[in-house]
A and B are shown apart, each in its own frame.
Chain A
Amino acid sequence: MQDAKPAINENVVQMQHICKSFGTVQALSDVHFELRRGEILSLLGENGSGKTTLMNILAGIYFPDAGDIFVNGKHVTIRQPKDAFDLNIGMVHQHFKLVEVFSAAENIVLGLPGKTTINRRALYKHVQEIADQYGFEIDPEKKVYDMSVSEKQTVEIIKALYRGADILILDEPTAVLTPQETDKLFEIMRAMKADQKSIILITHKLNEVLAVSDRVTVLRKGEYIDTVYTKDATIQSLTDMMVGHSVSLAIDRPTTTNVEPILMVQSLTALNQEGAKALDDVTFEANGGEILGIAGISGSGQRELCEAIAGLCPVIGGSILYRNIVDGYEVDENVIGLNPYKIAKKGIALAFVPEDRLGMGLAPSLDMVDNIMLKHYRENKGFFVDRKTPRQIAERLVEELQIVTPDVFTPIRQLSGGNVQKILVGREIDTSPRLLMVAYPVRGLDINSSYTIYNLLNEQKEKGTAVIFVGEDLDVLMEISDRILVMSGGRVTGIVDPRVTSKQEIGLLMLGQSIVM
């Protein structure tokens, strides 16, 4: 695409002394960044380290408070996304920037100059040509709302290439992909690299850094740490740079005795809003003193499964039996058809940390005390609510979980993702559940917060609680779970022991290929 002769180690992007603050929060201070032609550079850092902010500055979404940017040796000012396109910089955001009701091609051509009307046939052809060049699979006429996550990502990348991007920024592109889809993406990235394009991969997954990139730049808490060659780096050395001190990366999997079933799900079938089967003949048991991991591509029925068990999703068949203890006797109670309130009234100690923390889990504009009260206020006698008990719980949680908040009366919307999650998990655990379901509990959390959550889950497991952990990071699931249930298209494709199963096998199960165990 470009006829400039590639020189070895030629910098296509240089960012110097970049500063950016949001209100009182200093997101970036004096950060440096260099990108060479025809390389894949990983930008590594924890959440809140400023890596996305830095790239948003390069892509024209944010404007830096201070600092200089050079592209191809020229000093430039990038005020808006359009300026970035003109410099052949394209960014694929973590949250896709696609218009749902448009077709792939319409999204790709959006905002580009040209004739008054759009020649769709020529457009489709051009899109197909780019796709063929790098090995993408795409249907230019397909509407975005009909697409899978990986297809949407493909549209995003082609969109950047269509605009002539030579510098491509990918913001955590693999977070939503299966291992197989990830490998495919890496292949495409290598093809682009061979075509002298420069790629920045924003990530916090170290194995990906090592697998695909040439160099790694590490940021920590808005500051530039270092840039190293990938071939000289190890997982441990990168982690130390990222976190700032040596951390133990191993996740505990304590052994427990007294493993016995608490939840028995049999032939559970449920429909989604479109009337298709979201859960199809799901059968499994969750045991006390055990963490049951649930793996699967997002949208494989994990959400419906959790919601069905919590009494939030109507089911059309099967049973959910919960082993309750009433007056010292074990009673298996079927919770199908009961709403969460009725389930709680039966004395079933069930706690649920949903995927959608600020929508389903907590009320964002209420403070910690009120959010904790939501779980308790029905137990109050009389006309007025008791605010004292929830306040005490809130203060205890702040201390125990090291929640960073000005006070317990700050609307939780204003807190960071990690702290919000600690509040939610803390509140649920505080009810001393016998069954704890957590969906993507560490999504968006940094390493330290993630480990706090893992420890909390392990504590619950040791107490004899049955923990169901819906996760997306297979490495984590395989380290923490005692068993992993794999879902695909609403069905259970396997329940495996992570100690003896490989990641590839689980990946295949996630794609719907049952293996005989």
Chain B
Amino acid sequence: MKVLTIIINWINAAVISGTPLLLATSGEILTEKSGNLNLGVEGQMYMGAIAGLAGAWFTEKWFGVGGIIPLIAAVIFAFLMGCVSGLIYAVLTVTLRANQNVTGLTLAIFGTGFARFFGEVLSNKAGGFVAVGRETKEVFYIIDFGKLSEIPVIGTLFFRYNWLVYFALIIAIILGWFLNRTRKGLSLRAVGENPGTADSAGINVTRYKYAATTIGGGLCGLGGMCMSMVSQKGVWQPNCVSGYGWLAIALVIFATWSPLRAIYSSIIFGGLTVMYMRIPIPGLPREIYMMLPYIATIIVLVLTSIRQSKEHAQPASTGYNYYREER
């Protein structure tokens, strides 16, 4: 019974820890499906993290309210800041045709610095450190499902989460439906696979790339907000994203570019990242645990390349910019 409790609690923690990953991974899948390999997720998450926190904090300060209104402000600010970061990437790679890898890495560094700078500014303004009020903190707590959460096992597994967990799940499902079932989703996948073909089929390649990269960036921003508002409980921590952006990029590969597979993949990754707290093995340093998600990614990479599946692979044009009149 004790083992079962440990496992259930572990899964519970894995889901919570996997939520920012799922949001960022969904965003990156959307971006890569348009043929843009955005390595800047870490930076985008940082930008979303600071924007969300600042949004909530300023709303509290200026309007003197706590709770749901600062929450909405946090979501809007984080999403828009993520969109701006995606837009920066899109302008550089789609319009100016800059190298995607370099742009992505630059964005990762820029976003991290951007967030730390404004985090510091905000901290000075707040006189020491930034933290949102108790009321606002509480809306990011676990939702009270009443009797439902008391059902043994199922209650813990399904009804002991904050709202972002369910939100991320819905986003991933919608994204999966969009990519696989809808006409626009088909067009977007065509853009990522073969922009020349999409172009000659009358699809506006530039518009799709911009839209997917911008909205994908927005989702990454929400993932970042999840880190600052939920994981750090609304207190600014200069290291709040701590490599989750890189994990999300690895997770895209692990989930083989499918938002639906990203759901369970993010729980696995989340579980691996919190494993050192849940299943400690004496003498095994924490750093070894931290490597586990990456080792899992490498194994998946090897397995998928052995299988040589054309469908569960990176969109063919990912990493290459498209220019119609290139000869």
Chain A contact residues, CB within 8 Å of chain B: 22, 59, 61-62, 80-82, 85, 91, 93, 97-102, 106-107, 109-118, 143, 145, 273-274
Contact = CB atoms under 8 A, between A and B. Distances in A.
24 contacts: A59-B200, A82-B202, A97-B194, A97-B200, A98-B194, A98-B197, A99-B189, A99-B190, A99-B193, A99-B198, A100-B316, A101-B310, A101-B316, A102-B190, A110-B203, A111-B187, A111-B190, A112-B183, A113-B183, A116-B182, A116-B183, A116-B184, A117-B181, A118-B186
B200 to A, nearest CB: 5
Nearest to A93: B200
Contacts of B198: 99, 110-111
B187 A110 contact: yes
A115 B183 contact: yes
Given A81-B201, A99-B189, 6 more contacts: A61-B200, A93-B200, A99-B193, A106-B186, A109-B183, A143-B311
Given A114-B183, A115-B183, A116-B183, A99 B200 contact: no
A53 to B, nearest CB: 10
Interface string B102-146: 000000000000000000000000000000000000000000000
Contact of A97 (B197, B324, B325): B197
Contacts of B201: 81, 97, 110-111
B172 to A, nearest CB: 18
Nearest to B181: A117
B2 interface: no
A91 B197 contact: no
Nearest to B193: A99
B320 to A, nearest CB: 15
Interface residues on B, range: 20 to 34
B327 interface: yes
Nearest to A62: B325
Contact of B182 (A61, A62, A117): A117
Nearest to B197: A97
A208 B311 CA distance: 38
A145 B187 CA distance: 18
A101 B200 contact: no
A113 B198 CA distance: 14
B238 interface: no
> Among the interface residues B182, B197, B310, B316, which one has the most CB atoms of the partner chain A within 10 A?
B197
A191 B77 CA distance: 60
A274 B311 CA distance: 16
Contact of A145 (B189, B190, B196, B310): B310
Nearest to A115: B183
B241 to A, nearest CB: 33
B202 A101 contact: no
Contacts of A59: 200
Contacts of B325: 22, 62
Contact of B193 (A91, A100, A116): A100
B294 to A, nearest CB: 27
A117 B200 CA distance: 21
Closest 10 CB pairs of A and B: A111-B201, A82-B202, A97-B197, A111-B202, A111-B203, A110-B201, A99-B193, A81-B200, A97-B200, A117-B181
B167 to A, nearest CB: 22
Interface string B293-316: 000000000000000101100001
Nearest to B309: A101
Contacts of A62: 325
A84 to B, nearest CB: 8
Contacts of B194: 97-100
B324 A85 contact: no
Interface string B46-58: 0000000000000
A99 B310 contact: no
Nearest to B177: A117
Nearest to B184: A116
A115 B184 CA distance: 10
A91 B200 CA distance: 9
B193 A85 contact: no
A81 B311 CA distance: 27
A24 B324 CA distance: 18
Contacts of A111: 187, 190, 198, 201-203
Interface in B33-47: none
A97 B199 CA distance: 9
A123 to B, nearest CB: 11
Contacts of B200: 59, 61, 81, 91, 93, 97
Interface in B134-192: 181-184, 186-187, 189-190
Interface in B214-246: none
A409 to B, nearest CB: 22
> Among the interface residues A59, A102, A106, which one has the most CB atoms of the partner chain B within 10 A?
A102
Nearest to A22: B327
A32 B124 CA distance: 72
Contacts of B189: 99, 101-102
> Among the interface residues A93, A97, A110, A274, which one has the most CB atoms of the partner chain B within 10 A?
A110
A85 B202 contact: yes
Nearest to B312: A101
A116 B180 CA distance: 12
A110 B324 contact: no
Given A97-B200, A100-B194, A118 B181 contact: yes
Given A22-B327, A100-B316, A118-B186, A81 B202 contact: yes
A117 B202 contact: no
